Amino acid sequence: MTNLNVFIFFLIGGLSFALLGFRFVSGKTYAFRMFGIGMSLLAVAFATWSVIVLTNPVAEDLKMLTTIGVIPFGLANLFFVAAGTSDFTSSTRRNLLVVAAAVIGALFVLRTFVTPSQPSFSENGLFYFNAEPIAILLYVVVFAGALMPAVHVVTLHIASVRDAMFTRLFFNVVTLSGVVLIVSTNDDLQGLNGYVLLFGLIGLVVTHIRKTPEFITR
């Protein structure tokens, strides 16, 4: 039976990332645009996973839909790398993007074909990706390794010091909670972690709901 709270969690996550994506893409500078596209792709991933929770599909469809959601998730991290390297030379940025694309591609092949993930629902209705340990490690490296540097660079260029501080604070909460979301299969921990992640997302929405962040060179 579908857990309505889990559906609402993924839905709020998708809507929050969509708003952040819109705000940063509207910033019209390379770093903000790349970051905003990454946020928008995370919104697509969360929307896909919310559909999974809502429909509670059979095993094969569950695997397929989970994989479909992983594709925008992986692409989002590639755009985060682009944002995080926006102050680098074009050749260095290009080389790092090639490396990032190779790692993200390797993760997709690993979790889909080599050691396939076995997504499932717990007895309490929580949705788990159930990736193998090596895939979980790559998920964490890709997600945290791409998002945290991107947040650092983007917040350095937000004109409002207050908005920059809150953006970095709440994204740190989202990143750490996102890691727990990936690695843990404990319902009690995930229940608490869901509230922490929503706290971070709501903080980001409140920070950016009224205006597009203004870019400044520091």
> Does residue 121 sit within a domain?
yes
Measured between alpha carbons, how far is 186 from 106 in angstroms, rounded to an integer? Answer: 27
> Does residue 152 sit within a domain?
yes
Which residues pair with residue 128 across a beta bridge? 120
> Does residue 88 sit within a domain?
yes
> Does residue 215 sit within a domain?
no
> Does residue 216 sit within a domain?
no
Q: Indicate if the pLDDT at residue 107 is higher than 80.
A: yes
Measured between alpha carbons, how far is 138 from 141 in angstroms, rounded to an integer? Answer: 5
Measured between alpha carbons, how far is 204 from 18 in angstroms, rounded to an integer? Answer: 12
This prediction's pTM: 0.96
Domain count, the chain: 1
> Domain residues for 131?
4-208
pLDDT at 150: 98
Instruction: Give the burial string for 87-102 (b: 16+ CB within 10 Å, else e).
Output: eeeeeebeeeeeebee
> Does residue 144 sit within a domain?
yes
* Tokens found for residue 155: 């917040």
pLDDT at 48: 96
Q: Indicate if the pLDDT at residue 52 is higher than 60.
A: yes
CATH number of the structural domain spanning residue 40: 1.20.1070
> Does residue 217 sit within a domain?
no
pLDDT in tens, 126-145: 999 999 999 999 999 999 99
> Does residue 142 sit within a domain?
yes
Q: Indicate if the pLDDT at residue 1 is higher than 60.
A: no
